[in-house]
Structure 1
Amino acid sequence: MAAPAKKREIESKSKDDDMNITDSGSSDDNEEIVNDEEGTKIMVDFVGRIPEDSDFHGIKILLQQLFLKAHINVGALAKYIISRNYVGSVVKQSSDDQDDEEDEDDDDINDVFSVTSVINISHGQNEECVQQLRTLLKDLSSEYATDSVNGLIKNIIENDSAALGLIVNERFVNIPADISVPLLENLIADMKRAVSKKMSYDFQYYILIAKLYKPKTSTKKNAKKGSEEPEIFWSNQEEEVFNENAMCTFEFAVDKESDTGLSGTWAEDDDEMIPYRRVMVFEACQLQPIIDKIKKFISH
């Protein structure tokens, strides 16, 4: 059972129990999201807090859009994240109108807009979902990575003396990248508190699985000509910064699986997009510098 839900400030230096999602460098707690059906933008108030049991279905949906048909029990993984809610956050729509509040049992299963957490996949291998993650990463690396990258990733995964954390950075596609900065900074603060309490969150490496898309025709043309990589569309824009600072990466197409991460109305002459997953490994000491670079990235 998870600890009781509490709102927490998504700021690495704050110890307050109230948590507001704010635009980086701004005091406004509104975020602009796109209504895909109408092509319009609306302002939404978000609130971030620790995951609780009622967030199970929402977290599960977000994990499903990442892992698709992979052999991962996303339900068990969602419960795992909730049971360790002293690390990480979920983002939901803020509701100050008490008259609109409903019983928790009637909560919309899709009301979780984002989940940010970290899973120690070098520790607690007795958990089946953690074992599945380790196996999946090793299998994918063997199939899609170069020999040198595969060797490096397998060594990192199998070396339990150098702890490896899987960062979960999932949200719906129409939520802007600005929201990632306070969430990631809060994650660092949570891990520091956990380490101070002798919990196993002192990582040497992190691994992140990113969702991205490439135009189908461009991919075919470049494959024939051996030209430069086609333009990449990142589902979470800030993950481009992670990619630039990764020590090794590999990717694979998931077009054979159901992927609803990129939605919208497409014109007949629009290029079909092929969904990919890119696995990135980076040293733990790079996480804060990466976040600092993300701040600059989203400000331009």
Structure 2
Amino acid sequence: MGKKRTREAEAPQQDPTVDKMDEDGSSDSSDDDMDIVNVDFELFNYDSQIDFHGVKTLLRQLFDADAQLLDLSGLSDLIVEQNTIGSTCKVDDKANDAYAFLTVLNLTEHRAKKPVAQLIDYLSGKARVASAVDGSSSSLAATVPELLAAASSGSKQVQVGLVLAERLLNMPAEVIPPMWGMLVDEIEAAVEDKEPYEFTHYVVVSRAYREVASSLDQSERKQKKAREESKMLYFHPEDDEMRKHAAAAGAYAFTSEESVADSKRAFQDMGVQPQGFMMLIEASKFEGAVKAIRDYVGEYA
């Protein structure tokens, strides 16, 4: 496929700072010695000669403890070769590794490829055991496995777009709305060009976590009770808004789940237990979900 647009020229640049201060760089007298670091983030098309390793690193973070169960190299190849859909977010130069990425894959189109077939099986299994999230009109178990099976069979009636997104943990949320907005525009352009991106549903894969008691502090019974009572939190705060537009959403434990590392609670009393998070969004609701992200991040920032 030909390149539809040049993001280096068209993408809005972000200019977040590490500390919120007055626009003229001043602050109150107690902060006179504080330095301001301006960072320009730019969005780029995928480049198969540059982005493989950066995308694979972020995929490894996205799938966490289960990354070893999936062919992330093959999946990274598919993502970077699809250079007209999705974005990487970088600092300084296109040749650098991505700090964030976003893309969507047509599961029907790629169903015969090993990395995608493997991922479909993985997500189907996780959807069947996922715990429901408040606000969902139905469970993942009742919807996602059937849709993924239809995609695997080559159904023309069901077209599932698998949305994969991840960013470094210290990335500012302000870089996210332009990436999602551009994805919507690119999908529209691709459909106009008769490319296979006219989806009926989107499955969005992300991560969440719960705060749990450390093994150094309590018995196994108390740890289990604390885990059951703890509230699910989001690594990506915009997921909490997007899920309100989802037909179904749920969280699931990683197959290769590790014990909570006490190093993850260096400055707090609780440990962090990561888990997978999945949302099913109907195509008619997808643009509204993206708008909700834009509105939320504006308030969040």
For residue 30 of structure 1, give the secondary structure of its aligned residue in structure 2. Answer: coil
Of the three residues 93, 115, 131, the one matched with 2:117 is: 131
Does 2:161 correspond to 1:165?
yes
Contact 2:208–2:251 (Cα < 8 Å) also in 1: no
Contact 2:163–2:204 (Cα < 8 Å) also in 1: yes
Identity %: 23
What per-residue deviation string (whole Å, max 9, x for no partner) do you get for residues 240-272 of structure 1? 112222211221233954799xx97722x4311
Structure 1: runs of 5+ lacking an equivalent: 10-16, 22-28, 35-39, 96-103
Q: Cα gap change, 1:187/1:196 in structure 2, threshold over 3 Å: closer, same or farther?
A: same
What per-residue deviation string (whole Å, max 9, x for no partner) do you get for residues 121-142 of structure 1? 1222121111112111112223
Give, in angstroms, the shift of residue 18 of structure 1.
3.4
TM-score by length of 2: 0.76
Counterpart in the other structure of 2:108: 122
Does 2:62 correspond to 1:76?
no
User: Which amino acid in 2 is paired with 1:242?
Assistant: M
Contact 2:205–2:278 (Cα < 8 Å) also in 1: yes
User: Which amino acid in 1 is paired with 2:239?
Assistant: E
Counterpart in the other structure of 1:252: 252
Does 2:192 correspond to 1:196?
yes
TM-score by length of 1: 0.76
Measure the CA separation in 1 of the matches of 2:231 and 2:148.
31
Does 2:292 correspond to 1:293?
yes
Contact 2:210–2:274 (Cα < 8 Å) also in 1: yes
Structure 2: runs of 5+ lacking an equivalent: 20-34, 133-137, 215-220
Question: CA RMSD, aligned part only?
Answer: 3.3
Contact 1:255–1:275 (Cα < 8 Å) also in 2: no
Counterpart in the other structure of 1:236: 236
Counterpart in the other structure of 1:101: none
After TM superposition, the structure 1 stretch with the greater mean CA deviation from structure 2, 138-147 or 198-207, is: 138-147
After TM superposition, the structure 1 stretch with the greater mean CA deviation from structure 2, 173-182 or 250-259, is: 250-259
Does 2:156 correspond to 1:156?
no
Contact 2:213–2:227 (Cα < 8 Å) also in 1: no
Contact 2:245–2:288 (Cα < 8 Å) also in 1: no
> How many residue pairs were aligned?
263
What per-residue deviation string (whole Å, max 9, x for no partner) do you get for residues 117-169 of structure 1? 10111222121111112111112223446796323212211223211111111
What per-residue deviation string (whole Å, max 9, x for no partner) do you get for residues 205-242 of structure 1? 11111211111039x87964998x63333111111112
What per-residue deviation string (whole Å, max 9, x for no partner) do you get for residues 46-101 of structure 1? 11110102111001100111123343211111110111111111011025xxxxxx
